[in-house]
Structures are given as C-alpha cells and as structure tokens.
Amino acid sequence: AAARPTPYLDDLNPAQREAAETLEGPVLMLAGAGTGKTKALTARIVHLLAQGKARPDEILSVTFTNKAAREMKSRIGRMLGQTVEGMPWLGTFHAICVKLLRRHAELVGLKSNFTILDTDDQQRLLKQLIVAANIDEKRWPPRMLSGIIDNWKNRAWTPDKVPAAEASAFDGRAQGLYAEYQARLRELNAVDFGDLLLHMVTIFQKYEDVLARYQRWFKYILVDEYQDTNVAQYLWLRLLAGHKNICCVGDDDQSIYGWRGAEVGNILRFEKDFPGAVVVRLEQNYRSTGHILAAASGVIAANKGRLGKTLYTAGEDGEKVRLIGHWDGEEEARWIGEEIEAMQGGTRGLDPMSLDDMAILVRASHQMRAFEDRFLTIGLPYRVIGGPRFYERMEIRDAMAYFRLAVSPDDDLAFERIVNTPKRGLGDKAIQTIQRAARDNGVSLVEGARLCVENGLLKGKGLKELGILVQSLDRWHGQVTAEADTHVELAEMILDESGYTAMWQNDKTPEAPGRLENLKELVKALEEFENLQGFLEHVALIMDNGSEEQGAKVSIMTLHAAKGLEFPAVFLPGWEDGLFPSQRSMDESGLKGLEEERRLAYVGITRAEMLCTISFAANRRVYGQWQSALPSRFIDELPEAHVEVLTPPGLYGGGYGAAGMAAASPVLQGMAGSNLHEKASRADVYNSPGWKRMQSRAQQRPMAQPKESRTMTIDLEAVSAYSVGDRVFHQKFGYGEVMGLEGDKLEIEFDKAGAKKVVARFVVPAAQ
Ligand code: ATP
Ligand code: MG
C-alpha cells in the first residue's frame, strides 16, 4: 500500500521524528525542559492512529494531570483534523486505574460502584480507627498515619508486604492499623487514591489472565513526565508493558515529586528495564528566549545529582529575567496586579497581551490568597489551577454526601456526614444507637438506621425524622437506578426533599446566600456529566480544575501544578529563604530536599516563553505575625548576565530599597553598582525594543489558536474508536454491541438494557 502522508511530522526536528516514528520496541526520550518531548509524544500518537497501527482505544497514554490529558487530546484532534472521542485510555494514572478497577472490583472484594474517598474522609476514617484502638490521637494524629499509609501504597506495599524495618512506624501500630483500614474500606465499598493503583497492581500480579488480556489489548503505551512515577505506577507500567512498545519521556531535572514517593531512578534505569531501548536526546529548546533559558540552566547547574544536559535555543535572547524586591507580600501582590493590568490593557501605547498568556506560580498554595484578594479587589479575572477548592466547601461536601448515598447506600461516611444535617433531632446518642445497630448486625449505617426505625430504638422527633430520611434515601437510590429523571433533576430534588436547601434559605448568617449560590453552581456543574456517578468520580479525581467561565484569565497555580505547561509571561513571587526553598528542605540534613526545591525553581523559570519575573518580599505575615525574610538562595544562583534588577516602585511604603537589597544578597550586591540605580522603571522596560519585539511575537501568534494548526484528513475508521459490531461496556447499562455510529454518539444494543444511544466517551471497549 502507498505510504500515507505524514504532515504532522513535518515540524519535528530529526531527533523528535525518530522518537515519533520508532513505533516498535521501547523508546526513551530523556531531555530538558521545553525541548518538545510532549510535542513529539503527541505526534507519535497521531502517527500511530494515522498509519492505522492501532485504534484509539488500543493506545494507553499516561499524562501527569487531567489538564495535560485534555490538552493532549485536543492537540491530537487538531493534528488529525477532527476531534478524537475514542481515547478512553488517555489520562492520568488515577483516571485510567479507576476505569480498570470498576471492571474488576470484585477481584479485590469491592463492588463496581465503589466510592473514592477524598483526604478528608480518609482522615475521619483513620481517626475512628485510632480512637477505637485507644491510641492518643493528639500524640499520634490521623494525618501522620495517612502519610505513612499513602507512602506505603506509593511503594505498592499491601499490609502484608510492609517490610519489618518499617513496622516501628506510628508507635509500632501502623501496620496493624493499615490492615484494619483496608478492611474497613472494603466494608464501605470504598477506596482511597493510593488504592486505585495498588488494587490494580495486586490484580495484575494475581490474575495472569486479566493481565494477559490487557497486555494484548494495549498495543502501544506512552508515558509523559516519567521522572515523576512512583514505585506502584512503575510496577503497574512494567506489568502492562512486558517488553513491548512503550515510549517514556521525561527530564531528571524536573523530578519534583520525591516527597510523594516518586523515584527519579525509574527513568534512569529505563534502558536496563527495557533492553534494546532506543534513547533519544533532545537539546534544542523551543519554548524560552535565550536569557530565560540561561537563567534556568544557571540555577539547576548548582545541583550535584544530575545527568547534566546542554540546552540551547535558536531564538533570540529576549528580555532578561526581571528581579524585584518588595516591602511586603501585599505590595508584591499589588505590583504584580499592576504589571498584569499594564501588560493586558495595552496602556502606555503598548500592544495588549491576553490574560490567558500570564501565570503566577507559587511555591505554597497559601501564597495564592494574597493574589486572589488583590485581584478580586481590582476586578482582575483569574483562575486557580490545581486545587479542588470549590469542592472543599462545606455546603458542597454536604450536598455531595447526599449524592454519594443516592448512588451507593452503603457509603457510611457520607451517611454520618448528613444524618443530622439539616438538624433532625439526631444527637450523638441517637447516632451511637444507629452505629451499634449497624455493627451488631453487620450492615451499613443506612440499614442500621432502618433497623432503628423498624424496631423503635429511638424516640420522638428523631425517630420520625430518621424514618423519613431512610425512606427518602431508598427513593433516591431507586431513582438513580431507574433513571426516571435526569441526574440534574434528581440532584435538585435531593437537595430540596432532604431539607438541605431550606436549611440555608432559613439561615440568616451573611454566608448563607453565598452557600446557596454555590449549591446552584454545583447543580450547574452536574450538567456536564452523564450521570451522578460519573460526576462523583470526576470530583474525586480533579486535581487541576479551575472555574470554567468564559473569558481570558490570569492563571494562579503552584509550581508543582505548572509542570509541562508554558506561558508567554510568568511571575514567580515569594523567592525567600524559608518559603522557597521551603524551611523544611533547609532544615533537612543532606541536599536531597534542597535539590528538589532547586529543580522546582528550574521548572518555574522554564515555564516562561518571553518574560519571567522573580520577586521577593522583605516582610511577610505568617499566621498573623510579621516575619522578615531574606531573598532566596536561588536568587544568588541566577547568572548575573541574564538578570535585570528592577527598582521597586516605592509607591506603597518604599519597597526593599537598593541598599536593603544589596545588603541582603551578595548577587544583588554585585549588581547594585551597575544595574540597580540605572535600571529603569517599568515604562522604560516596556518601551525597550526587546519588549516590543516580544509583543509583536505574541501578536503574531493567534491567541486562541493552536500552535499546531496543520490538519489532515484520514479515513474515519482509523480515528473512530468503535465500529459496528464492537463489544463495549457502559458503566450503567453493562455490556453491549455497537449497532451504529452517529457523530459522537453510538447506538448500542445492550445485553440487559436493550437499545440505547449513548455518548461514545462514556463507554469503554469490552476487552474480549
Ligand atoms: P517540559 O519538559 O516542560 O514538559 P517539553 O519537552 O515537553 O517540555 P513541549 O511542551 O513539547 O516541551 O514543547 C515546548 C514548546 O516548544 C511548545 O510550544 C512546542 O510547540 C514547541 N516545539 C517543540 N518542538 C518544536 C519544533 N520542532 N519546532 C517548533 N516548535 C517546537
Ligand atoms: Mg512536556
């Protein structure tokens, strides 16, 4: 057959092409930031699809965040010239494992509608176990235990596999509590985050047939950000990959999740694990200007434990990295707000820049508050990426608990949360009675409550109210199962019938209206999902969603969440010792923690394409107290030739002042004579030819447009995940056969549920 055209490979350099075109056998792309690893990986997927090497659902591709997965999906679509609906296995480790575990839950003693606990639920459960074991929870807090257990799960240790050397943890009780915790989770038909991988590793190790089926199914495996995989993820990948077509990409200098169990060693021993691997190195950086790249390289060079890579750019030097000190954190936020407005508004006769092109990257999430407050005050639209903030709110958690119970009635944690919210006259004693009834009969709390009602174990108002609640829960669960109403209607009904909405309507505190707004917002969010369970799953998984209203916005996120992303303009505030690097890393003996912080600095600087601004404050309020701070030691490591020190604005109380700055840091001292006083105000910077050049570059790049605007058409068969006759699995309707295709919908004849039309992304292929 004639070779199919490959326009999507045209804008790759030879090394990238090699990585994208070497389809058979293991491939490792080990290269620095902005060298086009993710781009080449994406082109590889497109190549696989376009050449008909695999159907979209036969490709397993792992990204580090949900956001990255979404972006990759839309890029693939753009490069193919059509949207890709059928890539069910493109996502984070967690998202992929949820799907797998739903199919095989019974193999680890769970039902397929298991609940995913968030950290809050996890803590509450652990607290119960700690209290029940008569352990002093003040000395031995649940948070500490969850840290230990998470860590063990990251290493793929089930309770029986925890090595003896570790067993002294938590006063020698951790292993026993871990076993109890796992048993309790099973009773609750629940998993925590770590379980998603751990259970799948267990299943793959124990059930060879299941593993073999997926080994056959996934023809190609691709992993981005491989340097940040932990042991459990690594084992999972190795089990699935065998010695086949696996392509991993990463950068040892960007390993920043060591604290969460990631092992940079995984990437360094790839060639040993996969003999005959083709190793591709990329050295050309396409993202950042010369000064930015040089500044980042200068900082990371101070790390001892690294492979060491050279990076160069063919682009222009651009603006130097800008450095500015402020009097305090508020002034820093105020200054950055003004900078952003100036850049955005095109004031002073400059070309405007989109807010979407600007980001503020912080070391610790508590730093965000100052920016959020400031931006709210001045009405500057922003989005926070990386925190499930909205879903952490009390009213949202309450409402979600109701939804969880409607989906799976044995979710005891959810029941505990709402049983007396709104007030139903069920005090601690009543709840203990319910718990006892449940325990004595080995049933869930809802069932325990039913027993209490039937046998009149409670008195008065409480008894009556509990009866109503149990009845309502039955009815809601029935409605979820029967699908009589849409899940959005059902959700509204649940909030009304439970009295939860009324509780806030009758509440006279100033927060109540906001809470009602949030509940409305929650129902709105539901509309994007096919059913309640899908939504609950989504909420449990979101690590990186922001509010999705329209319009351009500045992004605020942690450095950790920024990995893999890029922005024309980046602000890096809070470069002070004790904040960045963190106090913890500075207190630690050895360099490990500090080197990880430095890699984080490298990640931060290399997110910037054209303008990178680092700032620090002389004073910060920490827990209501003022503390003075020294500029970060990383500032000293910035190569002088690539940095420009800006004079503090001095408008709001003076800023750090030239003398103060110089006294604080030797690097700054070195610069003081040459730079500090001459260095100009912002207006001069904006009027400099370099800035204008950057502006026009930003203009040339259509803002809303993809960088890869190339499109091509290929026959539909290669991209549509499904064809007539395929066996598929749907969360709610079970197994069925594809009878027809219609846009993004499939007509499916379900074995049990009959013929239905469903959105293609809600089904997964049934592994034969
Ligand atoms: P990171 O390590 O930060 O994840 P990366 O190596 O994955 O970076 P990409 O995000 O893939 O790098 O690419 C960085 C930028 O360079 C992107 O804007 C991308 O479109 C561009 N780019 C990559 N390769 C090329 C190329 N061959 N020609 C032109 N631009 C390129
Ligand atoms: Mg990348």
pLDDT at site 65? 86
The DSSP output letter for 3 is P
Query: Considering just the CA atoms, what is the radius of gyration of the chain in Å?
Result: 28
The list of the chain residues with pLDDT below 70 reads 1-3, 120, 243, 347-350, 373, 386-392, 510-511, 514, 528, 541-550, 621-625, 648-721, 731, 743-744, 761, 767-768
92 labeled binding residue? no
CA of 9 to the centre of ligand 1 (A): 14
Answer yes or no: is 686 within a domain: no
Phi, psi (5° rounding) for residue 129? -65, -40
Whether 231 and 342 map to the same domain: the answer is: no
Whether 379 and 396 map to the same domain: the answer is: no
Catalytic machinery residues: 37-38, 224-225, 254, 607
Q: What is the 3-state secondary structure (H, E, C) of 345-390?
A: HCHHHCCCCCHHHEEEEECCHHHHHHHHHHHHHHCCCEEEECCCCH
Answer yes or no: is 702 within a domain: no
CA of 287 to the centre of ligand 1 (A): 6
**Nearest residue by C-alpha to atom 14 in ligand 1:** 34
CA of 564 to the centre of ligand 2 (A): 4
pLDDT at site 629? 84
**Nearest residue by C-alpha to atom 18 in ligand 1:** 287
Give the ligand 1 atom nearest the CA of 564: 4
Q: How far apart are CA 739 and CA 732, in angstroms?
A: 18
Whether 578 and 667 map to the same domain: the answer is: yes
**Nearest residue by C-alpha to atom 8 in ligand 1:** 34
Indicate if ligand 1 lies below 6 Å from the C-beta of 287.
yes
The DSSP output letter for 680 is P
Indicate if ligand 1 lies below 6 Å from the C-beta of 35.
yes
Whether 228 and 175 map to the same domain: the answer is: no
32 labeled binding residue? yes
Whether 230 and 138 map to the same domain: the answer is: no
Tokens of 620: 């910060």
Give the ligand 1 atom nearest the CA of 282: 6
Single residue among 679, 707, 742 that ends a domain in this structure? 679
pLDDT at site 511? 67
CATH code, domain carrying 746: 2.30.30.140
Indicate if ligand 1 lies below 6 Å from the C-beta of 34.
yes
CA of 225 to the centre of ligand 2 (A): 7
31 labeled binding residue? yes
CA of 562 to the centre of ligand 2 (A): 10
Indicate if ligand 1 lies below 6 Å from the C-beta of 16.
yes
Indicate if ligand 1 lies below 6 Å from the C-beta of 253.
no
**Nearest residue by C-alpha to atom 23 in ligand 1:** 36
Whether 491 and 581 map to the same domain: the answer is: no
Whether 500 and 643 map to the same domain: the answer is: no
Q: How far apart are CA 656 and CA 79, in angstroms?
A: 49
Phi, psi (5° rounding) for residue 216? -70, -40
Residue-range definition of the domain harbouring residue 471: 391-541
**Nearest residue by C-alpha to atom 9 in ligand 1:** 36
**Nearest residue by C-alpha to atom 16 in ligand 1:** 286
Whether 376 and 456 map to the same domain: the answer is: no
**Nearest residue by C-alpha to atom 31 in ligand 1:** 286
Indicate if ligand 1 lies below 6 Å from the C-beta of 224.
no
CA of 361 to the centre of ligand 1 (A): 20
Indicate if ligand 1 lies below 6 Å from the C-beta of 38.
yes
Answer yes or no: is 611 within a domain: yes
**Residues 764, 733 contacting (CB under 8 angstroms):** no
Give the ligand 1 atom nearest the CA of 31: 6
Whether 305 and 276 map to the same domain: the answer is: no
CA of 260 to the centre of ligand 2 (A): 20
Q: Which residues have C-beta within 8 Å of that of residue 506, sequence separation ≥ 6?
A: none
Q: Which ligand is nearest to the CA of 603?
A: 1
pLDDT at site 196? 95
Single residue among 233, 258, 280 that ends a domain in this structure? 280
Q: Which ligand is nearest to the CA of 75?
A: 1
Answer yes or no: is 111 within a domain: no
Q: How many domains are there within the chain?
A: 5
Indicate if ligand 1 lies below 6 Å from the C-beta of 286.
yes
Indicate if ligand 1 lies below 6 Å from the C-beta of 36.
yes
pLDDT at site 248? 96
Q: How far apart are CA 710 and CA 714, in angstroms?
A: 13
Give the ligand 1 atom nearest the CA of 42: 11
Whether 333 and 263 map to the same domain: the answer is: no
Phi, psi (5° rounding) for residue 499? 85, 5
Indicate if ligand 1 lies below 6 Å from the C-beta of 564.
yes
**Nearest residue by C-alpha to atom 25 in ligand 1:** 36
Answer yes or no: is 710 within a domain: no
Burial class (CB in 10 A: 0-12, 13-18, 19+), 11: middle
CA of 233 to the centre of ligand 2 (A): 19
**Nearest residue by C-alpha to atom 2 in ligand 1:** 33
pLDDT at site 500? 96
Tokens of 16: 């990238």
Answer yes or no: is 716 within a domain: no
CATH code, domain carrying 152: 1.10.10.160
Strands of 368-501, DSSP E:
382-385
DSSP H/E element including 284: none
**Nearest residue by C-alpha to atom 15 in ligand 1:** 287
Answer yes or no: is 687 within a domain: no
ipTM for the predicted complex comes to 0.99
Whether 517 and 587 map to the same domain: the answer is: no
Closest CA to 527 of 488, 585, 481: 488
What are the C-alpha distances in Å from 281 to residues 35, 36, 168?
Answer: 9, 11, 44
Whether 174 and 218 map to the same domain: the answer is: no
Give the ligand 1 atom nearest the CA of 12: 27
Ligand 1 pocket test, candidate residues 252, 286, 289, 609, most atoms within 8 A of CB? 286
Indicate if ligand 1 lies below 6 Å from the C-beta of 75.
no
Phi, psi (5° rounding) for residue 524? -60, -40
36 labeled binding residue? yes
Single residue among 649, 679, 709 that ends a domain in this structure? 679
Ligand 1 pocket test, candidate residues 18, 28, 35, most atoms within 8 A of CB? 35
Answer yes or no: is 664 within a domain: yes
Q: How far apart are CA 598 and CA 305, in angstroms?
A: 11
Burial class (CB in 10 A: 0-12, 13-18, 19+), 681: exposed
Angle between helices 532-541 and 487-497 (to 10 degrees): 80
**Residues 263, 255 contacting (CB under 8 angstroms):** no
Q: Which amino acid is at 463?
A: L
Indicate if ligand 1 lies below 6 Å from the C-beta of 315.
no
Q: What is the 3-state secondary structure (H, E, C) of 220-257?
A: EEEECCHHHCEHHHHHHHHHHHCCCCEEEEECHHHCCC
CATH code, domain carrying 618: 3.40.50.300
Environment of ion ligand 2 (residues, CB < 5 A)? 37-38, 564
Q: How far apart are CA 288 and CA 316, in angstroms?
A: 9
CA of 565 to the centre of ligand 2 (A): 7
Determine the 3-state secondary structure of 616 from DSSP: strand
Indicate if ligand 1 lies below 6 Å from the C-beta of 65.
no
